[in-house]
Amino acid sequence: MNQIVLATHNRHKVEEFQSIVAATRPDLIVVAYDGPEPVEDGVTFAENALIKARAAAEHTGLPALADDSGICVDVLGGAPGVFSAYWAGHAKDAAANLNLLLDQLSDIRDPHRAAQFVSTIAFVVPGDASRESVVEGVWPGRLATAASGEGGFGYDPIFIPDGQDADAERTVGEWTALEKNTASHRARAFEALAPLLAEL
């Protein structure tokens, strides 16, 4: 079996990526990164994804993937964006981040609650700078006024993706893992990445 390292210590992301990758490359095993976290001092998703992928590739000697993702709210000018994981402070408290965002938007009603999940994936092959690539996936939707559902992680319980039946809309927190993994921003980014992984 071939291995590729995902530059994260977040087990939820590792599980999600393994499920997405398995759909097209069942022979490719996604393993978690066990090295030190690099300083993510980029100001875009792409810059931070490359920082993480390069660090993981150098530390492990394996081809590396790194996802930098977040939620971008139109009325906030695209924030939290690259600060999504730290929106309520450096503790990376997902519940605090979600609650702060809800509080900030408490007086905002539809149709002004539009938001997008954005995933930027960097792919780095150690020792081969010519094989660095960055792809992006965008999942449009809007934010609910309260959290709903126990599934997913991060901002999933308040994100309502576009394209659902108006009478049966659900937050991603109410979706199954399979539903999410076939439609999410990461799945969309991975679709663009799949031809590159086919070369491994």
DSSP class of residue 71 equals E
* Amino acid in position 38: P
Q: What is the DSSP string of 104-144?
A: HTTT--TTS-EEEEEEEEEEEETTEEEEEEEEEEEEEEEE-
Catalytic option among 34, 41, 67, 68: 68
Closest by CA to 98, choosing from 153, 139, 154, 58, is 154
- Going through 7-93 in order, the beta strands assigned E by DSSP cover 28-32, 64-73
Cβ partners under 8 Å of residue 126, min gap 6: 57, 58, 60, 61, 62, 63, 64
Task: Tokens for 57, please give them.
Answer: 């590739």
Q: How far is Cα 20 from Cα 182, in angstroms, rounded to an integer?
A: 7
Question: Residue positions in the annotated binding site for Mg(2+)?
Answer: 68
The verdict on whether 162 is a catalytic residue reads no
Q: How many helices (H) and strands (E) does the chain have?
A: 5, 6
Residues annotated in a binding site: 8-13, 68-69, 153-156, 180, 185-186
Distances in Å between the Cα of 32 and the Cα atoms of 36, 38, 41, 68, 189 are 12, 15, 22, 15, 19
Q: Which residues are catalytic?
A: 68
